[in-house]
Chains A and B, each alone.
Chain A
Amino acid sequence: MGKKRPDLTSGESKKLPDTTTAEGRKEIMRRAQAGDTSVVPALRRMLREDDDELIDSGHLARMALARAAAREGDLLTREIYIRQMEKDAEELAGPNPSPLEKVLAERIAISRFRCYYYECLCVMGLRKDTLNLDAHKHKRLAAAQRDFLSSCRALAQVRKLELPFVQVNVADKQQVQNLVVTGALEGPGGPQGRV
């Protein structure tokens, strides 16, 4: 007889993590992905309170890529790959990136990792793969490299263009920050833009 798996859908599997910390938020997202219904109210609250997670549009692509690149069940490698992509994206985005720059930098990081991964697959299959499979892998690699270059071009273009900016005055401390217009405007009820 096999081990009994924990029932994640029962709603009483674990204590809810603290949503005010980054670790807690990540834990909630992880559990939600695993199908744990008990975290859904906290997840909804979290997404309503701060839409920082919504800007993380590459999450799905990052996860899928890391899952494909790591060996089945090797969570350590998978998490390292994910962290590597996040770190690359942060570096590429630089200090105080606009939301658009953040998204574009993330795409570059993902595309770059994708190129590395596909290159590894090509090298690993040398003298082993059939001609058909080899051609398929090289075609994928070429497509990934094109995608990577076009991602870099997009970020460079955005940085080169003088996009209009919004000056946001945060009431108490009067900090002045410039935002690229992406719908992050100051509304009547106070600053709504991400600063």
Chain B
Amino acid sequence: MSWETRGVYGPYYTRSRRVDGRVVREYVGAGPLADIIAQADEAEREAHRLQRRREREQMEQDRELDDLFGAYSAGVDELLRGVLEAAGYHQHKRGEWRRARGQETARLD
């Protein structure tokens, strides 16, 4: 946020906000009261920055956990595929598993 000086007047504390896609600057005040308001605004912005950083860190941690599950799940799928293919099945159009025609159940004694 900004302090603005116009000629011999100022500095004034102003806030900017977006209205219908345009930036509108509004006058807040001058003097000690404006100082306090500016500090409060700065503290609020700092809190938002911290929150965003915490969120980013949390998302990063979540991603690590999800990657671990992804790898685990892919491993199990790979195992399933291997076992079923070894047993003479094939996956029909990435859907159900079917046995190849004419293949009988193997029985080993």
**Chain A residues in the interface with B (C-beta under 8 A):** 57-58, 60-61, 64-65, 68, 100, 103-104, 107, 110-111, 114, 130, 132-133, 136, 140, 143-144, 147, 151, 154, 157-158, 161-167, 169, 180-182, 185
Contacts and interface: CB of A to CB of B under 8 A. Distances in A.
B79 A164 contact: no
Nearest to A98: B83
B61 to A, nearest CB: 8
B40 interface: no
Interface string B53-84: 00100110110011011001101110110011
B105 interface: yes
Given A57-B75, A165-B107, 11 more contacts: A61-B69, A68-B65, A100-B79, A107-B73, A110-B72, A130-B51, A151-B73, A151-B76, A163-B87, A181-B86, A181-B106
Contacts of B65: 64-65, 68
Contact of B58 (A133, A165, A182, A185): A133
Instruction: Name the interface size band of chain B.
Output: 20 to 34
Nearest to A107: B76
Contacts of A161: 84, 89, 97, 99
Contacts of A65: 65, 69
Contacts of B68: 60-61, 64
A164 B77 contact: no
Interface of B: 51, 55, 58-59, 61-62, 65-66, 68-69, 72-73, 75-77, 79-80, 83-84, 86-89, 96-97, 99, 105-109
A165 B69 CA distance: 31
Contacts of A107: 72-73, 76
